[in-house]
């Protein structure tokens, strides 16, 4: 069974069935398919540069209350007291910028995010947060 079924399955079981069609026509990118090795983007990811895409993951707890992005992670960014400190992010995070106000959701909720895929190392001005890939103008749905 493919990951696609996983997502559809959760959506069917979950809450916002009405939101599903909005994503239906977008190409999707899985976390595991983003890089070929290390920080080298995969051919699939390179081909999606600049396009509206959908990704499935988790929203890390916001770095601070007034902020215009959230960090999309492959697995819940649990604050494991014995694993990582706060600055020790995984290598495959996706910075997800949004316009206007956005309601944050709990880090353990699986979400589907739509945004414009942007690549290349950039530093966020206000926070100094360095990212390799981003989703711009995002919105999300809890699955």
Distance in angstroms (rounded) separating the CA atoms of residues 30 and 60: 17
User: Residue 15 Cβ, how far from other proteins at the closest point, in Å?
Assistant: 4
Q: Are 77 and 71 in contact (CB under 8 A)?
A: yes
Q: Cα-atom radius of gyration of the chain, to the nearest Å?
A: 15
User: Residue 52 Cβ, how far from other proteins at the closest point, in Å?
Assistant: 24
Tell me whether residue 96 or residue 131 sits nearer to other proteins (CB atom): 131
Distance in angstroms (rounded) separating the CA atoms of residues 80 and 84: 6
User: Residue 43 Cβ, how far from other proteins at the closest point, in Å?
Assistant: 15
Interface residues with other proteins (CB under 8 A)?
A: 1-3, 5-6, 8-10, 12-15, 31-32, 35-40, 74-76, 78-85, 88, 91, 105-108, 121, 130-132
């Amino acid at each position: 069974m493919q990951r696609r079924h996983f997502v559809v399955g959760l959506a069917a079981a979950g809450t916002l069935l009405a939101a599903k069609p909005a994503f239906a026509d977008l190409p999707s990118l899985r976390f595991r398919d983003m890089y070929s090795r290390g920080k080298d983007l995969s051919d699939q990811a390179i081909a999606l540069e600049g396009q509206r895409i959908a990704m499935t993951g988790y929203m890390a707890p916001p770095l601070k209350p007034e902020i215009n992005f959230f960090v999309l992670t492959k697995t819940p960014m649990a604050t494991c007291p014995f694993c990582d400190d706060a600055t020790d992010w995984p290598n495959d995070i996706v910075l997800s910028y949004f316009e206007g106000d956005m309601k944050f959701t709990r880090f353990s909720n699986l979400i589907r995010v739509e945004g414009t895929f942007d690549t290349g190392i950039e530093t966020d001005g206000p926070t100094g947060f360095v990212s390799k890939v981003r989703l711009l103008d995002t919105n999300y749905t809890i699955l």
